Structure 1
Amino acid sequence: MTPEEKQLFDLAKDHLKDAYAPYSHFHVAAALVTDQGEIFTGVNIENSSFGLTNCAERTAMFGWVNSGRPGKIKTLLIIGNTDRPISPCGACRQVMSELMARDAKVILPDSQGDFAEYMVEQLLPYQFTEKDIEDGANK
C-alpha cells in the first residue's frame, strides 16, 4: 500500500467501531480519497427492515456526493473485522460504477492489512448505465 492508502486503511479500521450493526454484528467501514486529496469515510448502517440497510462504501460515496463531489474518487478502501478481504455487494458495485471511473482503485484489506486490489471495471465488467435507460426510453 502507498502511504495514502495506508492512511485510508488506518482511518477505516479505526472507524469500524462506529458501525451501526445491532442485527448482524458485522461491522464494515470504508474510506475513500479523491484526486484532490479529500477523504470521506462511512460505516454500515443497519435497519430492522434489512432492505433499508446501507453499506459502508455507499455511505462514504454518498457523503462525497453530499459534499458537492469535490474532484474524482481515486481510491476506495472497504474493510470488515475479518481474517480475509470482504467483497462489495452488487448494489455497491453498481453505485461504484456510476460514481467512480472504471479504472479507479478498490482496495479490500483484511484486518491485518493484507489486501486484494481491483479496478471498478473488474468488479462490475458489464454495468447498467444511463445509455441503457436512454435505449429503453426510446423504444
Structure 2
Amino acid sequence: MPDLTQNTELFELAKEAMNKAYVPYSQFHVGAAILTAKGQFYSGCNVENAAYPEGTCAEAGAIAAMVLGGDTLIKDIYVIGNGDGLVTPCGGCRQKIREFSSADTMIHICGAEGVRKSLTMDELLPFSFGPENLEQAG
C-alpha cells in the first residue's frame, strides 16, 4: 500500500496553483505540482476557455513548465481539487504523466486537508503505452 506521507512543500505549491486557476465557466479549480528526479519543483493550474473543451488541465500546465525548465522525469506529482470525491487526472493527463514517468513515479491525489490517495503510475494507468513501446516496434 502506498505511503500517504505528505511532502508539505509540494502540497502547498499544488494548493497555490489551484487557487490561481482560471475557471470562469465550471468554477472547478484544480492545481498540480511536480517534483522531478533532479529535485526541481514545477506547478500548473487549469485554464478554461470560452471554446469550452479547449481549456488546459493543471497537470498539463505543470508538465509543460517542467519541460520548459529542462526536466523530463517526474518523481512525484500532486493533484488537488475541491469536493468530496477524488480529483484524479483525466485520461489525457494520465497519458501525459506516463510520458514522463518511471516505475517509481507516485501520483498523490489531494483535497484541502492533504493527500487522500497515493498511486503508482501502474495503478493509475495499468497496461499503459509509453515510449518504450515505440522502441520495441522498430
TM range (shorter): 0.7 to 0.9
Q: How many residues align?
A: 134
Match of 1:18 among 9, 17, 20: 20
Aligned equivalents of 2:99, 2:14: Cα separation in 1:
22
Point out the structure with max Rg over C-alpha.
1
TM-score, normalised to structure 2, is 0.86
Which moved further from structure 2: 11-20 or 27-36?
A: 11-20
Report the AA paired with residue 56 of structure 2. N
Deviation at 1:8, TM superposition (A): 0.9
1:7 counterpart SS class: helix
Which contiguous aligned blocks of 4+ residues in structure 1 show a shift greater than 4 angstroms? 132-135
Q: Which runs of 5+ in 1 are unaligned?
A: none
1:24 counterpart SS class: coil
The answer to whether structure 1 residue 85 and structure 2 residue 86 are counterparts is yes
Report the AA paired with residue 79 of structure 2. I
Deviation at 1:68, TM superposition (A): 1.5
Aligned to 2:49: 47
- Identity across aligned pairs (percent)? 35
Deviation at 1:118, TM superposition (A): 0.2
Aligned equivalents of 1:83, 1:7: Cα separation in 2:
23
* Structure number having the greater helix percentage: 1
Aligned equivalents of 2:29, 2:41: Cα separation in 1:
20
Deviation at 1:13, TM superposition (A): 1.3
The answer to whether structure 1 residue 119 and structure 2 residue 116 are counterparts is no
Does the CA contact (< 8 Å) of 2:108 and 2:115 recur in 1? no
Q: Which runs of 5+ in 2 are unaligned?
A: none
Does the CA contact (< 8 Å) of 2:86 and 2:109 recur in 1? yes
- The alpha-carbon distance between structure 1 residues 112 and 59, as it changes in their structure 2 partners (threshold 3 A), is same
Aligned to 1:64: 66
Does the CA contact (< 8 Å) of 2:104 and 2:120 recur in 1? yes
Does the CA contact (< 8 Å) of 1:83 and 1:111 recur in 2? no
Aligned equivalents of 1:117, 1:26: Cα separation in 2:
22
Match of 1:33 among 35, 45, 52: 35
